[in-house]
Structure 1
């Protein structure tokens, strides 16, 4: 990261968020001209983009690079709150409605490929999301990112992709998931995520992880508390959204989704 004024490269994540948001809103506007697209979906996407734009502002990224509390703040925005808002915006559904027929068929085939089915399973998403945090904070990887700008950005990209994948895998809507799993299964995985995320916060607080970062133990503990309580808030919010989506379904459909036996489709 640059200590002085931001370079053009430092603006790239922020500008990409702006570009993606403009593309989403343009596609949503076309859908509203031709038929219907919920303004709530647009609002959720703009909310997620706003959180990401704040997190990717170059001065905040430099703060997060040098300060572990700042890093945890951006982790919560990029990896937990913004992905939930984007998932609720149904971007994949909008993309399928916007693409030409050939592109839509290719996209559907990709979504039903073995690779995407593997990634979109809640357990896989849990391992990529929370498991990635264990690797980052309990190994020298975080300390290495302080010396490598590219690694710093790659870690935040992982936060965003893994967070989005996890929210989608747990909610399985509004974009249709390739797995039709009962709400009990998805809640169970979510509760496992809450427990393992909380355990990581306690390990960081009690044992001073990540180490060799130049931060004092008090500073590391402050960052661990921020991740512990902020992460709990984000995951409880995800649970509330999951239960709200389930309760909005007709009673018959709700009973069918209550089962814990996985059915793949």
Structure 2
């Protein structure tokens, strides 16, 4: 069986391989998060239930976007592809960031390993990729390359390009969210004003791209699918971005107002 998208195709066996490979990070992530939660509880350190739920939902959404019926339909239906893009590159990363995985890991790890991880988070490569501007270029800039060049058509012909693009969409979406809202401890903090300006610029770039797709379908995509996909990207992306804007503004407000020391915690409550 072969799945056709325009003039390109991916063999059924190859597609099954991509589903398995792309699903592994989310399955491993669930297992690691669960293990860290178990260790934390053994140390009698309470962990908010809602964070565990958010991690689970985010991981499941990630799995749904790269495997199963939605992923299979996305090979031939651009609207389904865009649905997967919103889940994989925006909603799943947001939920997983709100689950505060690094905070949980630091609680669960032995002291020496926790110190090593803290040093790793302070290194210059991490500082670069978690800078709002760099993360926005990776995220929104990557989408512009995907949908305005031959990359979208080529990803349906090349197994490894297909895998790379999906990994990039998730990782770039996660780094973008991490760079904008600080839920976990952050070694290199950027000002709220800087993050707000970059966020607004990135959202504008995302919105313009969705309108461009509406009027200029990627190679092999029917006009009606491009229109539906562009509208989904525009309105669905805005809905998810509103959550990021709300959290950023909430944190900014909490930082600006005077508060007693006893209200301060090691991680954000939202």
Task: Please report the TM-score for the alignment, with normalisation by the length of structure 2.
Answer: 0.85
- SS of 2:47's equivalent? coil
Alignment map for 1:46-125 (pairs within 5 Å): 46-125=56-135
Aligned to 1:23: 32
Distance 1:223 1:76 in 2: 10
Q: Greater CA deviation, 95-104 or 28-37?
A: 95-104
Distance 2:209 2:15 in 1: 33
Are positions 1:226 and 2:232 aligned together? yes
1:15, CA displacement in angstroms? 4.0
Aligned to 1:198: 207
Paired residues of 1:2 and 1:62 also in contact (CA < 8 A): no
Paired residues of 2:122 and 2:188 also in contact (CA < 8 A): no
Between the two proteins, the alignment pairs up a number of residues equal to: 249
Alignment map for 1:167-246 (pairs within 5 Å): 167-171=177-181, 173-206=182-215, 208-211=216-219, 213=220, 215-246=221-252
1:249, CA displacement in angstroms? 4.9
1:182, CA displacement in angstroms? 2.3
Task: Give the alignment's Cα RMSD to 1 decimal.
Answer: 2.1
1:71, CA displacement in angstroms? 1.1
- SS of 1:179's equivalent? coil
Aligned to 1:258: none
Distance 1:109 1:4 in 2: 42
Paired residues of 2:85 and 2:169 also in contact (CA < 8 A): yes
Instruction: Mark the CA change 1:30 to 1:137 in structure 2 (over 3 Å): closer, same or farther.
Output: same
- SS of 1:181's equivalent? coil
- SS of 1:66's equivalent? coil
What do residues 36-88 of structure 1 show as CA deviations (whole Å, max 9, x unaligned)?
22212111111211211221223322211222111111100000001011111
Paired residues of 1:65 and 1:152 also in contact (CA < 8 A): no
Distance 2:72 2:230 in 1: 20
Distance 1:126 1:6 in 2: 30
Distance 1:187 1:40 in 2: 27
Distance 1:168 1:177 in 2: 9
Paired residues of 1:72 and 1:227 also in contact (CA < 8 A): yes
Paired residues of 1:51 and 1:77 also in contact (CA < 8 A): yes
Structure 2, unaligned runs of 5 or more: 1-9, 260-270
Aligned to 1:37: 47
Aligned to 1:157: 167
Task: Please report the TM-score for the alignment, with normalisation by the length of structure 1.
Answer: 0.86
Structure 1, unaligned runs of 5 or more: 254-265
